[in-house]
Chain A
Amino acid sequence: MHLSFDLYPSYLRDFTESMQATAAYSLHYDIHAMRNYEYRNEGGKRVGPFPQVRKEGSLQLSCQKPASGSSIRSMNVSHIRSWATWTNQEHASKQTIEGSIDYAANSVGSPGNWIFSYRSDPILPVKSFRLNKLDPIEHSGTRSGDQIRIQTGANFTTRKYTANHPATTLYTLIERLHAGAVNAGLVDYLDDLSMFRPGLEITPLPKQKMEIENRVQELHGFALVGPALLPLYFWQNEHNHVLAVIGRNVAYTLTAIQNEAVS
């Protein structure tokens, strides 16, 4: 069993239908996160470690129908992380990224133009904690050749990065994997569309047989690995559905695919 299946395999779902790549579709992922291991006292003896995995958010990618003959794709993103301050409490706050991305239909989905808003909200009431709302900030980003520029709000921050490799994001990479377009190679990664992690590598994973919802499947996929990132493992089924994106402390597991009728 691959080490990435240590914590999260029970959350994987079976998807048997192939996708209509020429239509609009959306992908919904649950986010499961690993808290600190728990250790218990049983008869005076410390036992454990016991994993503590909790559902702590969701990711929805709404991929628009590609224009005929265009090499540009578009998607909307809703990425919500909602969590408890302490492991077994109710969720205390949520942080939301809502974005819209135009990206290249290349092998990694390099973003071209994008906007997103980020905000932090309290979820009340929560015992002992009273959180303040944080008004949203708006980012707008562009990539022109190897130059990436991100502007925050109307005030003061402009970030400029030079991409030495094709740029990618979690969101667009998932879509490109679904499309079966991804190849191994070096990439620069825009984590949460804002943190620039250059010089990562997309590398193929060894195939893995696994029973998911009573059906044995052969999974394949890629890892994103390199400096400034814990490896992320993208596992796909025979239809190229990305069933899970698994880190060490977080996993995105596919829960729904919605295909729009081809118009």
Chain B
Amino acid sequence: MISDSPANLFSRRDFLKAGSALSLSAFFQQSSAAPKGPLSGGLHPPNLLFLNLDQLSHMALSCHGNPYVKTPHIDRLAKRSIDFSKSYTPDPICCPARASWCTGRFPSENNVAANNRRLRQDLPDYGQWLGQNGYQTVHIGKWHVPGRPLHQSFQLVPHNSHPQGEYSDNLVALSFEAFLENRDRSRPFFAQVGLMNPHDIGNATRTAEHPFPFPHLQDQLPPYPPNFDYDPREPEQIASFHEGLVDWLKPWTEENWGHYQWLYYRMVEMVDINVGYILDTLEQSPDYENTVLIFTSDHGEANGYHRMLFKDNFYDTSSRVPTMVSFPGHIPEGIEDVEHLVSGLDFFPTFCDYAGIDSPSGLKGLSLRPLLEGDRKPATWRRYLHAQSKASGRMVVDQQYKFIRYYGSETTQLFDLENDPMETKNLAFDAAYQSICQRLAAEIDRHEATLDNVDLPANLTKRT
């Protein structure tokens, strides 16, 4: 059996050591003593599997219509899930996105407003919370939440990896299989399984700048993306990076851009095989019928769209991610939800809802459960979805528009996602759209006033 000795469990002493600023009494006052009770039908609280990828755009799946990639296993998951089409990361870069998942709080609140900033110590994470409420908690693969060592959050950490997916993702899948084979079946599990790919694309630029090495496969290279010629009127925080990138990549030919995209899609397919392995393992296990599975990615990848690479911006390729939820027999299968705005902040309250426990106070997301069961028409759902970037950036999305503002920048962006899904025309400069800009800017202000923000360095936030 997997070692699960008291020494490896999250203890009160660990918690005290975690940070002197921690409000321990507040933490335990928020926590329920035990799960509220069984689900309907006499089921015990379900297992919770949080399967996350790194740098997977919503558009980079064959089930989402991309002709340059084949993802049969994720497509299979989509067929047995509700697949949320309007799903956005809380922050389109690794650490802030992951810290937001695990605390249910925005980066400006949890202190991880940029990569490698340390998590605020007084916020419980979902591993701690579910572990305190009867779950066996396990982490396998990528975590990347600075300031929160894994053994403070999860009871079992059999495999914590943070290298490239090319040589580690197979092992993450095998470790999940080993966990499921050996696990303690007296308790439900909460498993966070983090696969690295297609994040490896970050190391691919020097490969892509060479001629494509397989001339006989040349016809597989994607052409320039449809929005390769982008609207350069961007906030300074994006424009400064973007202009430097465009300058650096000036020598790239269409073949180089195609080569980069080709590599990205092979990485997506690579990790799709690992997802399939994990799905096969789960589907053949005794746990399958009683497991809620949430599948997502921390952020996307620009992949040449807007003549850009990487992430850390609000364009859809970077900020819009797949989110699929399945629970056999409880959640209808094969539905694409094109209506509801969904955030990575919603996962923590969703896990608590299915576990039958209260959420910690102050979470900013909503349980997805009303969108997953029954008539799927909750009386209220958010009209606006908010996200952050680079500490100073704020994005708000409604059913038609995306508005982007960075503190310290005069330039804003407004895109009509319904009529311009490739985000090619910044309407913030169009007089006819000023009232929409004002409405969405006011919504950002209203929302900002509801946040429990930490004091971030002025050079990060650009706020005066």
Interface residues of A (CB under 8 A from B): 2-3, 6, 31, 33-37, 49, 56, 81, 83, 85-86, 92-93, 95, 118-120, 128-137, 152-153, 155-159, 191-192, 194-197, 203, 223, 225, 227-231, 247-250
What CA separation (Å) do A133 and B82 show in the bound complex?
35
Across-interface contacts of B163 in A (CB, < 8 A): 33, 35, 56, 83, 249
Interface membership of B272, Cβ < 8 A: yes
Query: What's the least CB distance linking A98 to chain B, in Å?
Result: 13
Restricting to B324-348, which residues have a CB under 8 Å from any CB of A? Answer: none
Given A34-B164, A230-B270, A129:B203 Cβ within 8 A: no
Across-interface contacts of A49 in B (CB, < 8 A): 206
Q: Mark B148-165, 1 if CB is under 8 A from A, else 0.
A: 011100001111111110
**18 interchain pairs, CB-CB under 8 A:** A31-B167, A37-B202, A56-B167, A95-B171, A118-B174, A120-B175, A131-B159, A132-B8, A137-B181, A137-B182, A156-B181, A157-B281, A191-B273, A194-B170, A195-B273, A228-B273, A230-B270, A249-B163
B174 engages A95 (CB within 8 Å): yes
Interface membership of B43, Cβ < 8 A: no
Across-interface contacts of A128 in B (CB, < 8 A): 149
The 5 closest A-B CB pairs, nearest first, are: A249-B164, A134-B158, A228-B269, A3-B210, A250-B167
Query: What's the least CB distance linking A52 to chain B, in Å?
Result: 10
Q: Which residue of B lies closest to A86 (CB)?
A: B162
Interface membership of B274, Cβ < 8 A: yes
What CA separation (Å) do A239 and B8 show in the bound complex?
51
Q: Which residue of A lies closest to B71 (CB)?
A: A228
What CA separation (Å) do A131 and B149 show in the bound complex?
11
Q: Mark B267-289, 1 if CB is under 8 A from A, else 0.
A: 10110111001001100111000
Interface residues of B (CB under 8 A from A): 1-4, 8, 70, 149-151, 156-164, 166-168, 170-171, 173-175, 177-179, 181-182, 200, 202-204, 206-207, 210, 213-214, 216-217, 263, 266-267, 269-270, 272-274, 277, 280-281, 284-286
Across-interface contacts of B159 in A (CB, < 8 A): 93, 95, 120, 131, 134
- Interface residue from A2, A3, A120 paired with B158 (Cβ < 8 Å): A120
Across-interface contacts of B217 in A (CB, < 8 A): 225
- Interface residue from B164, B177, B204, B267 paired with A152 (Cβ < 8 Å): B177
Query: What's the least CB distance linking A220 to chain B, in Å?
Result: 15
A135 engages B156 (CB within 8 Å): no
Query: What's the least CB distance linking A171 to chain B, in Å?
Result: 14
Query: What's the least CB distance linking A72 to chain B, in Å?
Result: 26
A156 engages B164 (CB within 8 Å): no
Q: Which residue of B lies closest to A119 (CB)?
A: B178
